Amino acid sequence: MKIFMAQIPPQTQMLNAGRHLFAIFSKLIKDMTIQKAFKLIFFLIFISVTCFGQGNPGFSLRGYINNEKIEKIYFGYYNDIEKKGINDSAEVINGNFLLKGRISHGALLIIKLYRGKEVDEDKSIYTFIDPADMNIKLNYSPFKVLNITNSPTYLEYDSLDQQKNIIKKNFDYLFHQYESAKSNDIKDSISTLLLPYYENIKKLDYSFFTGHPNSFVTGYLLQHYYRKFSVDTLDMLYNSMSNLLKKSIYGEQLSNVIQRRDARKETICEGCKAPNFRGTTFNGKSVELNDFRGKYVVLDFWASWCVPCRESTPHLIQIYNKYHSKGLEIIAIADDDQQPNEWKKAIKKDKAKMWYHILNGKRYMENGAEDRSNAITQKYYTSALPTKIIISPEGAIIGEYVGTDNDNMFYEKIAALF
């Protein structure tokens, strides 16, 4: 004969346990003096505060890469607890490594490999993790994530990425032609043929945003659509987010973008006077925008960690070499205030020393908080990288180009000016 045991709900079990502990505690202090009872109570309070106060939200990522020659792995993420970006590294021993950090919710993780003592920019991965004990498997060539365990946010990102890869396969032949093209004219023609690909990716992302309003993948990817979606669409997506996501760096950025989009209409527009700014180049020279009156100026908002920004540098070099003698200047404004060494390395590696390079102007407090009051991106309401702005010899804005989808329009505009 089988005996079926009744299942007691977890809430009832906890309530019964609490009653039992209270009965024991009452019995203990019943026969105590008032002084001893107070000592016991304060002791229990101290223990509970100590135990519960030692919570250290974070992640542990034990990994393996199938190349035992790798000696070090670089990783970066945003520490939402201390509100600052973290760049760190871990030793790799026989293919095994351990990454640790502090986060309280899903977060973007950037992983890069070292080539000798330098970071190999060609070996980089963007993925997502959670505050948990996780395992990761990396493939060396091609460099990619094979799997991450115990991370719901990674599973969301990976599922979306697989759907994008299916779309990309239909356009692979065009991407190969683009990479092998020897002239910019051919590349421009191929870029036009790739427009349906980018439109399909945009539709897929939008479907993900509306289907996963509380995902930190949504918060991150939305950054690429700040200027592509209307304010009403951004408003709708923001209002559908959970309070946790709204309070994250992604939610705060989106909220600021929505507020600033209205304000910038009267400040950053074709015909509007370009806000003046000052900065210091990487070799110590002082630069002020107003000093360039009489010349066409391109403001290139970029960062050393922005892959699309750096991929457009070779074409920008061609434009500079072609039109600089005719009156074109470029001022590159980098969002690298927290990592100036990486900024200088990127300029050197990209062979782009010929024009003016300055930092954005953000300051970082001792507690890690950002002070953007003097940042150039604040004056220009720039919310996405790369962004290029063309300024006339009279100091008026005559064109703004956000992201890489509008690169052809930017290059055509420059050619038309000269």
All structural domains of the chain: 59-150 (2.60.40), 166-264 (no CATH), 278-417 (3.40.30.10)
Mean pLDDT of 121-150: 94
Check residue 185 and give its pLDDT: 75
pLDDT at 6: 36
Nearest to 83 by CA among 64, 98, 104, 69: 104
Q: Which of 159, 161, 112, 109 lies closest to 130, judged by CA?
A: 109
- Across the range 61-80, mean pLDDT stands at 92
- Give the pLDDT score at 186: 85
Q: Is the pLDDT assigned to residue 114 strictly greater than 60?
A: yes
Is it the case that residue 388 has pLDDT exceeding 50?
yes
Among 42-56, 88-102, 107-121, 302-316, top mean pLDDT goes to 88-102
Predicted pLDDT at 54: 43
Give the closest residue to 106 by CA, choosing from 131, 80, 78, 77: 131
Condensed to tens digits (0 to 9), the pLDDT of residues 284-293 reads 999 999 999 9
Average pLDDT of span 153-157? 98
Cα 227 to Cα 265: distance, rounded to the nearest angstrom: 12
Of residues 200 and 115, more confidence is placed in 200
Give the global pTM. Answer: 0.59
pLDDT band at 27 (very low <50, low <70, confident <90, very high): low
How far apart, in whole angstroms, are the C-alpha atoms of residue 228 and residue 270? 18
28 and 40 in contact (C-beta within 8 Å)? yes
Position 35 scores a pLDDT of: 57
* Strands 296-302 and 387-391, sheet pairing: antiparallel
Task: Spell out where 183-295 has E strands.
Answer: 278-280, 286-288
10 pLDDT band (50/70/90 cuts)? Answer: very low
Calpha distance 180→177 (Å, rounded): 5
pLDDT of 164 above 80: yes
Provide the pLDDT for residue 367.
Answer: 52
Beta bridge partners of 371: 363
β-partners of residue 91 are 72
- Per the document, the length of the chain is 418
Is 2 a residue whose pLDDT tops 60? no
Mean per-residue pLDDT, 301-313: 89
Q: Is the pLDDT of residue 122 over 90?
A: no
Burial class (CB in 10 A: 0-12, 13-18, 19+), 9: exposed
Q: Note the pLDDT of residue 384.
A: 81
pLDDT for 321: 96
- Residue entry with tokens 């008026």: 396
Q: Are 242 and 214 contacting, i.e. CB atoms less than 8 angstroms apart?
A: yes
Under the banding of pLDDT at 50, 70 and 90, the label for residue 372 is confident
At position 258, the amino acid (one-letter code) is I
**Strand order from edge to edge, sheet including 118-129:** 84-91, 72-79, 107-115, 118-129
Rounded to an integer, the average pLDDT of 294-308 is 93
Place 8 in a pLDDT band, splitting at 50, 70 and 90: very low
For residues 227 and 402, the answer to whether their CB atoms sit within 8 Å is yes
Mean pLDDT across the chain? 85
